[in-house]
Chain A
């Protein structure tokens, strides 16, 4: 039941994240995979740079997963891996994987974890365009 949480500067191994949540007591494994897309608000994006405050990111990620376990007591295994550093188009930025006995809770828990991660986990994204870069969401 200990969640598998990591911030890494290496390419994310999706299969390993899915394998980490595999358990014979769960009949549903649900995953979210966030990838780098080629535009943001209509502006072409060349690549992304993620920066992380690792110790706090892992602390906050732990809180998010603990909240998920409270909301869905049947939640079995959880894995969250977030990439940092420079990512090219199509690269995997984040993987969330959860295992539950039945599918409904797996969808809900997976969505809760990625949605809450985006609100509280201390990771920042700088988008690189043809003509410069910008920290995402920094300004109103």
Chain B
């Protein structure tokens, strides 16, 4: 099953789209997703930080990913 990942801010600029679909075999954890994204888009590795959100919450590296989850890359936030 493929995995859809939403992109915001500078990560959208780097990848060039607001949603990327990772084909099977898709990453199964947050750590795998970050590693795969950085492999495909090395500029992501130059950011101050890049978190992953699963269903609107910040997710730890070992969090499992499922195709039904809402997944997003979260570059450094700058609200306020």
Contacts and interface: CB of A to CB of B under 8 A. Distances in A.
A130 to B, nearest CB: 20
Interface string A5-21: 00000000000000000
B79 A56 contact: no
Contacts of A118: 77-80
Interface string A31-68: 00010000000000000001111011101100000000
A63 to B, nearest CB: 9
Interface string A98-140: 0000000000000000100111111111100000000111111
**B interface, size bucket:** 20 to 34
B13 interface: yes
Given A123-B78, A124-B77, A138-B47, A59 B56 contact: yes
B48 A140 contact: yes
Interface in B38-80: 46-48, 53, 56-58, 70, 72, 74-80
Nearest to B80: A118
Nearest to B70: A55
Interface residues of A, number: 30
A79 interface: no
Interface in B11-57: 13, 46-48, 53, 56-57
B78 to A, nearest CB: 4
Contact of A135 (B46, B53, B74, B75): B75
Interface of B: 6, 8-10, 13, 46-48, 53, 56-58, 70, 72, 74-80
24 contacts: A34-B80, A51-B8, A53-B6, A53-B8, A56-B53, A56-B56, A56-B72, A56-B74, A82-B80, A117-B79, A119-B77, A120-B77, A121-B77, A122-B53, A122-B74, A122-B79, A123-B79, A126-B9, A135-B10, A135-B78, A137-B77, A138-B48, A138-B76, A139-B47
